[in-house]
Amino acid sequence: MPGLLVLDSASLYYRAFYALPESMTSPQGEPVNAVRGFLDTLARLIDDRSPDAIACCWDLDWRPQWRVDLLPSYKTHRLAQEGDGSGEETPDTLSPQVPLLEAVLRALGVAVAGVEGFEADDVIGSLASQYDGPVSVVSGDRDLMQLVNDRVTLLYTGAPGKIDPYDPSAVFARFGIRADQYVDFAVMKGDPSDGLPGVPGVGEKTAAKLLAEHGDLPGIQQAAADPTSKITPKVRGSIVDSADYIERAVRVVTVVRDLDISAFEVAKRQRVKDADVLAKLSERWGISAPIARLQDALSR
């Protein structure tokens, strides 16, 4: 279905890095597996989806301070142990590939979208919410389930080599909740990968059951405050005791949707923007084949 194709770039290049061998190298012997995998994945997605517009979203701040201020545990386990300990831990052979990938995409004319002080998720949320037409979001981040609606589909890249499309009915079939309930669901069940502790004693099944019965977190909290509620005393106590966490975590998990994205050229597929730069990158890094495949997909 034509429309906007939005990529969670970090999710995709990490996936490519771990899926492909580091024996894929440049003429000088530097690994280029993440770059090759990303470019080939994007080419396949364009062939499959025939989008009108494309945007590759970047984390200009992978752990924004405003989110850390709300929830100090946010993504702490991903912090690098070296340096000042504030950067994201990234494999040594992946780090040099990220700016190379960005340079290739920019030379090709593909929109690279990022906003200072915000994560790629927030840029994705703003693009998806403000684009006038169908949107396909490609990511392995479940939190983006919250964006799914009749116009926005999440192409989830959880399993290696597999992309699962999530529309509203698929979200309900998988989790037993509506997509617009996903933030409340995630806050209650927690997510160790993001440093989200969750409400003690509330897992996926309990969270889905509570949302089915009470609609949203305010409704659940109101029921938990009522000693005659059908919620078990242990879970009621956890919900009441977690009020401060719930208030802060909802703000952390909720994707920003109102960023100014007017600077990003996603109104149409772009032709090659800088052929000379692209040729030099192709030769220097030995990535002419994936670049040619992506160029071919973009030209159709």
Domain residue extents for the chain: 4-176+255-299, 179-253
Collapsing DSSP states into helix, strand and coil, what is residue 2? coil
220 token code pair? 């659940």
Backbone angles phi, psi at 143, to 5 degrees: -60, -25
Query: CATH classification of 179-253, choosing from 1.10.150.20, 3.40.640.10, 1.10.1040.10, 1.10.3210.10?
Result: 1.10.150.20
pLDDT at 83: 45
pLDDT at 269: 63
Query: CATH classification of 4-176+255-299, choosing from 3.40.47.10, 3.60.10.10, 3.40.50.2300, 3.40.50.1010?
Result: 3.40.50.1010
- Please state, in angstroms and rounded to a whole number, the distance separating the CA atoms of residues 172 and 80: 36
Closest of 24, 119, 25 to residue 78, by C-alpha: 119
Tell me the pLDDT band of 270, cut-offs 50, 70 and 90. low
Query: Among residues of the chain, what percentage have pLDDT more than 90?
Result: 86
pLDDT per position as a tens digit, 205-243: 999 999 999 999 999 999 999 999 999 999 999 999 999
Tell me the pLDDT band of 87, cut-offs 50, 70 and 90. low
Q: What is the 3-state secondary structure (H, E, C) of 220-267?
A: HHHHHCCCCCCCCHHHHHHHHHCHHHHHHHHHHHCCCCCCCCCCCCCC
CB 182 within 8 A of CB 175: yes
pTM score: 0.94
pLDDT at 82: 45
Residue 11 has pLDDT above 90, yes or no: yes
pLDDT at 267: 53
Query: Among residues of the chain, what percentage have pLDDT more than 70?
Result: 95
